[in-house]
A and B are shown apart, each in its own frame.
Chain A
Amino acid sequence: MDLNFTAEDRQFREEAREWLNANVFKERRPHGGQEMREYDLAWQRTQYDAGWAGVSWPKEYGGMGLGLTRQLIWYEEYARAHAPDNHLCFVGLNHGGPTIIARGSEEQKKEHLRPILSGEKIWCQGFSEPNAGSDLASLKTRAVIDGDELVITGSKIWTSHGHLSDMQELLVRTDPGAPKHKGISWVIFDMNTPGLDLRPIDIMSAPNHTHFVQCFYDEARVPLKNVVGDVNDGWSVAMSTLGFERGTAQIKDQIRYAFLVEDMIKKARDRYGAEFVSTDEFGARLAQLRADMAAARAMTYMAVSRAERDVSPAMASLMRAMVGQVQQRVRRLAFDIIGADGLENPEDDDWVYFYLRSYATTIAAGTLQIQRNIIGERVLGLPRGR
């Protein structure tokens, strides 16, 4: 056990801090639409052009070729500098890209990785379907092999930012006769493919902006070479994706939230006075969150330590389940701190928006209940219920 960062790590931290302080976008990030896409891509491009994109990605695909520890340092400095959360790049950077690095062919890596880092392509996730949510493996979107193409027909739903995306990690059923986990393929899908139709879905936190879409595929054709891993082996590739999504993809958020709690303490003291805050129930809640956020951050350090040692991906559910709930408590308290003003929801307010957004943290990437099932069965070894 040690917390020692090497001299090179510390040097890296210094340089990252300096660069971020000088270059972080100061304008507020739009909550939706084409402006948000432009903003996120521009910020990603800025990082790439300066050589700071893809800290832990291989060099030959445009990354920096450094380990997860440096990635952690980068995200710590990123949060400290209040760098914007370019959420449109999330899927590509944090699980689509890493899945291709881990499971893709050389050709797929060459073609798809660099544009993610350089801020040219936005990726989205096409896993969930109207009738396949928690039971993801029951998905029905059909893909028929026709020569060197897949012909896709069906529907995906809850595709975050699908209307603003260029590419999609798409799960399709290539063998309907096989047992449900055995007939799935993981496909790289171009969102400009003819035969794709999108229906926007409004969400409760920002009624004027579309967050996700439903995708309808009507005989959309994809080259067979876009299958990542083997045809019909997509479930195991999807498990890699979910491992990234529930594990290392969470690093950045936790550090950001730790800083947010610090901001809330300041805001509460400014608004109500230090004395009041320390004696009121706000004080008890802030104190508990301060302790819990310290633990959440320690959990990210543990996640990195475990990732370096190849520990069971089910362990990622422990962190995911914990921080999903803590983040909700943080946002709820922020909402309570602003008091009656929380009943006003102006366009430029973040505290109300993110309070409402926080209801997603125990649903997206597998619900809290599904995480508990995974922990119960695969971490603790309790018998399966079915």
Chain B
Amino acid sequence: MDLLPSSDQQQIVDTIQDFLRNEAPVDRLREFGAIGNSDAKLWPKLAELGFFGLSLPEEMGGIGLSAAEEMLVFQQFGYHLISPAIFGTILGARVAAFSGDAHLRDALLSGEARVGVANSRGAAGGTDAFHLFEADEAELILLCDDDEAALYPRSAFTHIERVNSTDAVLVLERARLGDSVEPRVRVSKETENIHARALMLMGAYALGIGQGARDMAVEYAQVREQFGKPIGSFQAIKHICADMAIRSEAALCQASFAALVMDDASPDTEFHAVASKIVACESAIKNAADCVQVHGAFGFTAEANVHHYLKRSHVADRLFGGLREQRRRILTFPTPA
């Protein structure tokens, strides 16, 4: 038993970290503005480095690593605020692979095809009302719920209407799923529980967002001076930062545990995935909010990157079901081992 990355795993973390630091510094988001997220141009490179098929078995065109490696990589995607379309592409490749469509699978693994993500608008819209994330140029859209995971062609959606996104670097649309439309490919929960994986990976992604906000706050607390001292020497600020670190630690440990349980195909897989999403989204939202406070008025501007963490943390919370829904679900599981 060991919750820390092995040296091989650390190497994977270092690789993805280096890549994202160079190719996707968080500063890039200042330029995107209202024109939408251009992270899709990273996809072919990430695909070439093998990150898209990391946890797919080799006979399905993947690298054959485990959920643990995938968790570590999604943590970095969150840390660098990579577009959540990454969930569409990577989970989409898994849907294609497990449904037996090798052609589609390979197209997705190459990073050429784009996949948006559909998310229920819940009580706000009714059962067939969705938000589509990063789907304007996507041929396919991932729809993943408790029963199954499926890839729909964009044409399966009707009443598509572009709306302003709170997280302004993301392209957001409202849409309805047409009557009696069929997905291009689908995988039932019994065949492969992609929904549990989506929740687990969203936990990892949210963990990364919270860590990013923590580091940004700590860095600022070391350099910003008032009353002749760095503000980080004031306990009121130091303790805010300490609380951020505590939340990130809890989220890290649970994300690691959830990934390992999934690799073991334990009956508690869903329980721990849900727990990870709850704890990590909480860490992301609260850390981002604290990061605003530590930055003072600067944190309230669009000039500092702080607001990107805050807005993305809410996207992470909403995707695949928000806190209220996850809390309802976690009480339905039997006592974990």
* A3 & B261 in contact (Cβ 8 Å cutoff): yes
Q: Number of A interface residues at 8 Å Cβ cutoff, please give it.
A: 51
B140 at interface by CB-CB < 8 Å: no
Contacts of B331 in A (CB 8 A): 265, 277-278, 283, 286-287, 290
| Contact of B232 with A by CB under 8 A | yes
List chain A residues, Cβ under 8 A from B259.
Answer: 1
Contacting residues of chain B (254-301) with chain A, CB-CB under 8 angstroms: 254, 256-257, 259-261, 263-264, 271-272, 274-276, 278-279
Are B256 and A294 in touch, CB under 8 angstroms? no
Are B1 and A298 in contact, CB atoms less than 8 angstroms apart? no
Q: B202 interface residue, CB < 8 Å from A?
A: no
- Which residues of B, 1-20, contact A by the 8 Å Cβ criterion? 1-6, 9
* A69, B2: Cα distance in complex, Å: 9
Selected from B1, B218, B335, the residue in CB contact (under 8 A) with A3 is B1
Q: Which of B77-85, B129-137, B176-184, B240-248 is the contact stretch?
A: B240-248
Across-interface contacts of A309 in B (CB, < 8 A): 4
Q: How far is the CB of B195 from chain A (nearest CB, A)?
A: 17
Contact A380 B336 (CB under 8 A): no
B57 within 8 A of A: no
Contact in complex: A380, B241 (CB < 8 Å): yes
Complex contact A292–B250 (CB within 8 A): yes
Beta-carbon contact of B4 and A306 below 8 Å? yes
**How distant is the Cα of A309 from the Cα of B10 in the complex, in angstroms?**
15
- Inter-chain CA distance A116–B243, complex, in Å, is 37
A85 CB to closest chain B CB (Å) equals 20
B222 within 8 A of A: yes
Q: How far is the CB of B271 from chain A (nearest CB, A)?
A: 7
In terms of DSSP, what is the predominant structure of the interface of chain A? helix
Say yes or no: A288 contacts B278, CB within 8 Å.
Answer: yes
- Asked if B2 and A305 sit within 8 Å, CB to CB, the answer is yes
Does A318 touch B at the CB level, under 8 Å? yes
Interface residues of A in 252-303 (CB under 8 A from B): 262, 265, 277-278, 283-284, 286-288, 290-292, 294-299, 301-302
B→A interface (CB under 8 Å):
1-6, 9, 68, 218, 221-222, 229-230, 232-235, 237-239, 241-243, 245-246, 249-254, 256-257, 259-261, 263-264, 271-272, 274-276, 278-279, 324, 326-328, 330-331, 335-336
- 19 new A-B pairs (CB below 8 Å) besides A305-B3, A305-B4, A308-B2? A1-B9, A3-B264, A9-B1, A277-B331, A287-B278, A287-B327, A290-B275, A291-B330, A294-B276, A294-B336, A302-B252, A318-B246, A372-B242, A376-B238, A382-B218, A382-B232, A382-B241, A383-B229, A384-B233
